[in-house]
Amino acid sequence: MVKKVRVVVIGSGPAGLTAALYTARAQLSTVVITGMQVGGQIATTHDVDNFPGFPDGIEGPELTARMQAQAERFGAQFDYDLVTEVDFTSGSPFRVKTQSREYLADSVVVTIGASPRKLNVPGEVEFTGRGVSYCATCDGWFFRNKDIIVVGGGDSALQEAIFLTRFASSVTIVHRRDTLRASTALQHRAFANDKIGFIYNTVIDEILGSSETGAVRAVRLRNVKTGEVSEKPIDGVFIFIGYDPNSKVFNGQLSTDAAGYVIVDNHMRTNVEGVFAGGEIHDDIFRQAITAAGQGCAAALMAINWLGERADRLQVIEDEQRDAPIASSKKTTEAV
């Protein structure tokens, strides 16, 4: 069965939840296809200290729940499913397929985000949020006067390592080669920082936790040249080995840059008229919950505007099932 709606929002991070709030509040029937986890990356962040309006901070899942409740208050519906296929080729209305149903939407807002690359070593999943982090801005505060490792040799690793020296006693950059990929300017700044040390030609084979605290206590390192294995006591491991935008499902339909980020103009318009994008699916610079929310808002405003301007020309979509529950979907709390 095909469900007809005015707006499908793909993704449920701060960008998607904000977009849904705006389109639903504009009286447009809106379905959010959430992906594996409502909230995206923010849902895996313990405490969010830098989202305005919460002077004492707020837990990521709580912020997510509040944003969802706010969108639902205006009628947004949530489908706890994954998008498997889209068809934007014939213009509006657009076909969006999930694992269990199909939508026909006048407009689509793409907020499907990007995922930090994982090391894929033992202990990484287990200790995420307990010493393993992919976000210095989110979690740096919790490592005041602690010793931490940053993994990676690119711009992100060095930039975040420099930022983390505001909090940590020491930051050791562990890089798999003996040459950094980061820009010369960032390298100079990192080399000049007394708190930053480097371990080259080395990878992390395992992240080890303490049975007492349930948090990271050490890493097992391996020198890739000599094969020497060692254990280094550490309080935190920040992993910055690149991000992958979740844009594969749009391959051949939405224009992306070489890294796969969806290209939008300054009105959040993609190359397909009626399809807008916001948040980390197009933004590889700011990567903050608040900037994603702002971009989701902007994309939604453009969708509302676009639908308003073309109301007479668009296929009239009567959403007969607007109040029907989306029964075929299951909520999951699994990490992406």
Binding site for ligand NAP (CB under 6 A): 117, 119, 151-157, 159, 176-177, 181, 203, 240-243, 284
Three-class SS of residue 117? Answer: coil
- Candidate list 47, 79, 135, 283, residue with the active-site label: 135
Q: What is the distance of C-alpha 63 from the center of its chain?
A: 15
Q: Are 136 and 163 in contact (CB under 8 A)?
A: yes
Provide the 10 A C-beta neighbour count for residue 100.
15
Minimal CB distance to ligand NAP: which residue?
154
Residue 311 to residues 13, 137, 314, Cα–Cα distance (Å):
28, 42, 6
Structure-block tokens of residue 148: 């931490």
The DSSP code for 280 is G
* 243/250 with CB nearer ligand NAP: 243
For ligand NAP, which is the closer residue by CB, 21 or 180? Answer: 180
Neighbouring C-beta atoms of residue 55, cutoff 10 Å: 7
Annotated catalytic residue within 81, 139, 235, 283: 139
Supply 178's token pair: 């003996």
Q: Which is nearer to ligand NAP, 41 or 329 (CB)?
A: 41
Q: What is the smallest separation between the CB atom of 259 and ligand NAP, expressed in angstroms?
A: 7
Respond yes or no: is residue 138 known to be catalytic. Answer: yes
Instruction: Let me know if 135 is a catalytic residue.
Output: yes
**For ligand NAP, which is the closer residue by CB, 141 or 163?**
163
Q: In angstroms, give the least distance from the CB of 246 to ligand NAP.
A: 15
Residue 223 makes CB contacts below 8 A (sequence gap 6+) with 201, 202, 229, 230
Closer residue to ligand NAP in complex, CB, 119/303? 119
User: Is 143 or 243 the residue whose CB approaches ligand NAP more closely?
Assistant: 243
Options 81, 138, 235, 283, the catalytic residue:
138
CB of 198 to ligand NAP, least distance (A): 12
Which token pair is 270?
Answer: 């993609």
Q: Check: CB of residue 117 under 8 Å from CB of residue 241.
A: yes
SS (H, E, C) 56-102: CCEEHHHHHHHHHHHHHHCCCEEECCCEEEEECCCCCCEEEEECCCE
Minimum CB distance to ligand NAP, residue 112 (Å): 18
- SS3 readout for 155-207: HHHHHHHHHHCCCCCEEEEECCCCCCCCCHHHHHHHHCCCCEEEECCEEEEEE
Minimum distance between the CB of residue 135 and ligand NAP, rounded to whole angstroms?
12
Please report how close the Cβ of residue 13 comes to ligand NAP at its closest, in angstroms: 18
Active site amino acids: 135, 138-139
